[in-house]
Amino acid sequence: MRQLYYLTILLIALCVMNLTTFAQSKRARGLFVNGQADAIHILILKKIDENKFAPVDPARAFQRGEQIKITFESNFDGYVYVVNVTPGGKKRVLFPFNKESNHIVHGQRYELPSLNTFVFDEEKGTEIVQVIMSRETIAFFDQAVKNSQGELGETASSAAAELSNPNTKAPKSGIVTENVTSVLPQTGAGAMRQRGIILSPGKDKATEGTYIAIPDKSTDRGQTKDKEASRLKANEVAVFEIRLQHI
């Protein structure tokens, strides 16, 4: 009888967790569409023919020679930086490149890279693409692009840290928002406050992409909604990772 009681409690808890996750998932897409929060819609495209690309699930495995593009659209005006962390731990700013502008305008769709593609080489493992959103330019990245062709120093990325720890399981693949550590300095010059974000993958992650938004948690605590609480402010960033498994 006691086992049945505990089983019932466990099932109720699982149902509540699933409902909460579903509600957050729908919420991120809604925040993007209605513009009530700073949000972005992202899609991964794989080259399938000379001039043709098709959407793919970012959690799938990729092989040497395969080529992809990252497309995104934001609902706010600001700046986006894209940093690559290789399986070996090397970090480089992919976007902007050289004198390319990384200023984004709401409602406009962007492709990265704009002219070529990202190609998976012979280095197998988890390829990390970290996306950093901000309302303002970030000097730490701009200086790296200007002075060292985008090469960054020894800063930590969450997935890279997982990979270097032999006691942890393989990092989750796909688009990740939880427990993401920005490649930006965590303290001192260049440090910026990192905002929490929520994620909403479409029913078909390949064709519908993923929505990522900054939630306003004031209403969850019974407080009056602050329209600016879900907006990026000065010296703030929102960060997520695209973790691509290269086999």
Q: For all residues of the chain together, what is the average pLDDT?
A: 81
Angle CA(171)–CA(174)–CA(178) in degrees, nearest 5? 65
Residue 62, H or E segment = strand 61-62
DSSP 128-194: EEEEEEESS--HHHHHHHHHHTTB--S---HHHHHHH-TTSPPPPPEEE-TTPPPSS-SSSTT--EE
| Among 63, 88, 68, 60, residue whose Cα is nearest residue 243 | 60
In tens, the pLDDT along 82-109 reads 999 888 888 999 999 888 899 999 999 9
**Distance in angstroms (rounded) separating the CA atoms of residues 133 and 83:** 12
In tens, the pLDDT along 30-69 reads 889 888 899 999 999 999 998 899 999 999 999 999 999 9
CB 92 within 8 Å of CB 148: no
CB 138 within 8 Å of CB 79: yes
CB 205 within 8 Å of CB 58: yes
- pLDDT over 70 (residue 213): yes
Give the confidence band of 23 by pLDDT, cuts at 50, 70, 90. Answer: very low
CB 171 within 8 Å of CB 126: yes
List, in order, residues 6 or more apart from 10 with CB less than 8 Å away: none
Q: Pull the structure tokens for residue 174.
A: 């796909």
69 alpha carbon, distance to own chain's centre? 15
- pLDDT over 80 (residue 24): no
| Among 75, 192, 179, residue whose Cα is nearest residue 141 | 192
pLDDT of residue 83: 95
33 alpha carbon, distance to own chain's centre? 18
What does pTM read for this prediction?
0.80
